[in-house]
Each structure stands twice: as C-alpha cells, then as structure tokens.
Structure 1
C-alpha cells in the first residue's frame, strides 16, 4: 500500500504537516479542505464555513454521491482493509459504521424483464396508488404468478442465508443474492426448444436495485440497523445479527421477504439478542393468525405491540407493511403499532406484507446520510421478519413460507416460555 499524501491543516493558527480529515461539506462541493483533528475543525468552523457560501456548485444528487463512493477517496482509510467511513462527522448512535467504497453496480442480462424504475430510479407506476381503500384484488392467473415469484424469493433468501458466517462481507452476500436472482427459473422445461430471448426474459430482477436509486440488490441490516442497510465491505463478526431483505421481480410481479439471522455462536448466547430476534419472529407469527377476509388492516398492529411490550421491546412506527403485486409497494398500508389509523378491510385475492421491526430499546429511528440506512436512536439492536401474504376465501396463504430445510429458524428465549409459533 502506498503512503498517504502529506497535506497541511488549514485550521486557524495550525498548519500541521500531516492532515487527512476533510470537511464533509467541502467534499460535497468538490473542494479540498484538510484538518488535523476534530477539535481543530470545530475551533475553525466559524471562519471556515464562509467558504461554503462562496461556492455556486450544487450538491450532487444521491445517486451521483453513491456512485462517487465506489471510486478512490481522499477520506482517511483503514490501512489494513482500505475501507473508509464516508460520513466521518455523522453522530452515529451505535458501534456500526459503513465500510466503503461500495462495489460497482452489478450487471444484469440485457434481455431480463425490468420494472419501470430500473433505469432512472423512479417507480412511476407506484405514484398513482390513489385512495388507500383502493386495493388490488388478483385473479386466479395473477395469484399463480404471485405464488411463483414468492417461491423464487424464498429460494434466493435461503441461498443467501446459508452463506451468513463470521468473516463474510455484506457485499459478498449481495453478490450471492444478485446471482441467485438472475438464475431463478432459467432452466425451464423443454428450454432447449425456446429461444435465448425467452429464456433470459424468464429470469428474475432483484427488485431493490435502483429502486429510488438504491444501489444494491438486497438490503442487509446489521445489529442496530432497523432496515434498508446498504451492502458494503464490512465483515460480519461473531455476535452480530443480520436481516436479509430479498425481493424478486419475475413475470411482472414482486415477491417480498426478509428474515433476521444469528451470526456465529455469541449472538445465540446473548439473551437480549435472542429476545429481540425471537420476539420479532413471534410478532409476525401472531399477526398472520389474524389474516382472513374481514380483517381490518389496523388490527395486526394491536397484537404485535402487545406481544412486543410483554417481552420488554418496542415497535418501529416509521416503516410499515404494504401491498405487493405488480407493484413493489402499493395499497394497503399495514402498520405494526397499536391504535394506528390504517383504513381498509382484507378481501380474498389481496396480497400484502406484514414485517414488524422490533427494537430492544426505543422505537425511534434515525437515518444515515446515505438516505437509506435506518438505525435505532439509542444504538440498541433491532430485528425484523417479513412474509408476503395472500388472503384466501377462508384465511391466509403464506406465499413466502419457509421450506423444511430453510436456514435459520426459531430458538428458545432464555427465561421465557415461547409457545408462540413464529413466521
């Protein structure tokens, strides 16, 4: 590894010869301004901030910023890994830090069927969802397509989850899931009789990729991250928990699922870690028991919050379950907290997710400057489980149900009699 370039600190009355810390605002404006320490930066702030007003260059868009973070950076890097924190002055609430640079955008077969946001990140089809009481009811053929894509989503999740271990990076997990997505359903019956175009169009698109400019194919949320973690170069360590959020787009439909997994043995030995993970699993299981024709969409939140409070946990309010079909996110809204104001009634043929996010501490969240990664405000652990559900004539079908050999699975909570069935 080459030595770092020597620069002078521009702090007031400083000019130390070795300076690597940069002003984050100047970085956004395309300027260079180095400081020797956080203290020097704070002392010089009142004078230094004047240079920001002198710039006429606009801040880059989120997409441009994330793309820039795949390139070499002047920010201080870890000498062993070459990784860096792109937001060194952000007040993180826990011990987790992003490990950039991000890997380059993963390639897709040219003929794969894509959702409308795949090129510019704008899900235009979702912008006309209208009255929250207007909920799509799928016909028999559409239900068949949902069953298919949800089965494929479960397959991809299981493939990715089987790779979870100490030492693997979340970027490597993203690559595994990305490849598994585009491999889904390629080997069709009598495929040799089909054209290459038809075979490629049968593949699955990883739904998160470029959805509102999200840069990766899956979400990987570790420890205090509630949801929407961006896969990067951080290696998982024994004692972590990780949520893998997988969505596939296949045949014009989306299938959405996530689960939280223990990394190594230390996580399973920590009673608080087990309590939050298994409470989230059980909350989903209890909520699913409610689903049938006539269920009010405000009802799952009542049973979820009741169980979470019994386990001394809290329920995130910012993020909710949602309709899913030809659209990634649509009506209905399904909050996970009690006394919510959701409207609508479940009817046969409706598809939606329930995905409670359960925290050890406060329910409140904060988002990192990447505009995606949401963490607990107290830095305590959060866990989540999600299924895509179909309302049937007499109950519910869990379209993303676990297979007999699916990785992970329920373990006992120390000191608690867990007779509740998990999802």
Structure 2
C-alpha cells in the first residue's frame, strides 16, 4: 500500500500522460534482498572472468568458468536452456552486439573486444550484468568505443530516481554517444528483472519523445546500452540468437541491474 501522498503524486503524473508501472513490478524489501544476493554472485563471476580471460582461450572455456562458479555457489546460470539458448553465458566479440553463443572453435585473440553477459538465478531471484573486456593489444579506436559505452551506462544510471521517466535514460545516453561519433542500438534494450529473467518495463537507450514509464521505489531493471562504431542497425544470425551490427562495425555494451530507491538508485549487479 503506497502512502496517500505518493498516490496523489502518481495520479498527477498519470494525468500528464506518464505510464504508471503495475504494482507487481514494485519489489518488496525482501525481494530486493534476494535480487541483491543473486547480484553478488553475478558480480563475482564477472570479477573472476576479468582475472582469467586472455588471448588463446576459447569462448567455451569462458562459458565453463561461468558455469562452474555458478553451480559451486548453489545458483543457476539463467541463460542455460532459456528459450533454447545452449550455454551459460552470452559472449559477444567485436561486431557481435549481444547474445553470442560460446563454442569450442572460437578463440579469443589479441585485439578483440568482448562482452561477457552474466545472468544468475539464486533462490528464485534473477540478476543480470555485463562487462567489456579488451584482449591483448586493442586499437585506440576500439578502446575509445569501450570507454564511451561504459560512460553511456553511467550517464544513464544517473537518471534513475523516483518520479523520473525511464525515457530520460535514453535521452541522456543517445546525445552523449552521438557527440562522440557513435550510434545507439534501437532494436534491443534493458528490461525489468528480479522475479523473472525478463520483466516490464522495457528500457530504451535512445531518445524518445513520449512520456515513458514512471520510475517508482522498488522497481528493478537493467540498463545496458549497446553502442556501435557505425550505424545502429543490427541483424540476427541463422542461429536466431547472435545479433551483429548490420555494417560490420564494432559494438560495445556494459550492463547493470539497478533498483530504484526512495532517494535514487542502488546497483545490485555490475
């Protein structure tokens, strides 16, 4: 039950055209604690990958690293068998925007930029985060893209606070990326998370004109801007998972799981 004052504020925003999230999207303190504990494992896995990833590793070896750590901590890799996805982690190299499938044949080499996207289920609670890793000697242009993608995530995160619109995230990210000569993928975005792998609301990372969804304390979602060195158009491979840039340009992405708090936000997985 929301305080009367909060309900009055929400009614005012509703009358102005904002989308009000369904009450089921507002997590309880106990639920947020469950997501937080799941997020700790997700963050620890990314820390482990950061220590171990190197030229000469196959993407399957990275997948095994993620699987073994997750299982050892009494958790479940959320991607494994999700809608037919065959592995425990998404691993996306160079022009792969997201949802790259690890395998025994793909070997990481010096100069690659790699997104490792980890999602964990712990006691029924979901968390989701990704980081970019630069393998060996990476070109200055690739480094700049990776850095800008991280800055886009941080800029978007700063928009998270009660009674702000989710659309302010994209309104902050896209101009920043464009000023640096990059584009923001439009076909994919962030999402609610916590009790399911993917929940409402959808989070766009590009600037939209409509009012958008009102952020309220207790909402949990990901911010995960995908930043391309070329155009923002993407295509999906025949495996129905791997998303690449349509023009073959490099792409970079970072992701947090974030909770809206009474006075701002808390990063639950990073």
Q: Which has the higher helix share?
A: 2
3-state DSSP of counterpart to 1:149: helix
Residues 1-400 of structure 1: pairs in structure 2 closer than 5 A = 133-134=21-22, 136-184=25-73, 203-232=74-103, 233-265=105-137, 267=138, 270-339=139-208, 341=210, 343-400=212-269
What's the TM-score, normalizing by structure 2? Answer: 0.90
Greater relative contact order (Cα < 8 A, sep 6+): 2
Cα separation, 1, equivalents of 2:232 and 2:51: 30
3-state DSSP of counterpart to 1:383: strand
1:160 shift after superposition: 2.0
Structure 2 CA distance for partners of 1:362 and 1:278, relative to 1, 3 Å: same
Cα separation, 2, equivalents of 1:398 and 1:342: 24
Aligned twin of 1:33: none
1:340 shift after superposition: 5.5
Aligned twin of 2:16: none
1:246-273 per-residue CA deviation (whole Å, 9 max, x = no partner) reads: 00000111010001110002x1xx2210
Cα separation, 2, equivalents of 1:376 and 1:304: 19
Cα separation, 2, equivalents of 1:301 and 1:155: 28
3-state DSSP of counterpart to 2:143: helix
Aligned partners of 1:167 and 1:237 also within 8 Å = yes
3-state DSSP of counterpart to 2:79: coil
1:163 shift after superposition: 1.6
Aligned partners of 2:20 and 2:214 also within 8 Å = no
3-state DSSP of counterpart to 1:299: helix
Structure 1: 5+ residue runs without aligned partners? 1-130, 185-202, 402-423
What's the TM-score, normalizing by structure 1? Answer: 0.58
1:133 shift after superposition: 3.3
The RMSD of aligned alpha carbons is 1.3
1:1-23 per-residue CA deviation (whole Å, 9 max, x = no partner) reads: xxxxxxxxxxxxxxxxxxxxxxx
Cα separation, 2, equivalents of 1:393 and 1:358: 30
Aligned partners of 1:322 and 1:353 also within 8 Å = yes
Aligned positions, number: 250
Cα separation, 2, equivalents of 1:353 and 1:213: 22
Larger Rg computed on CA atoms: 1
3-state DSSP of counterpart to 1:302: helix
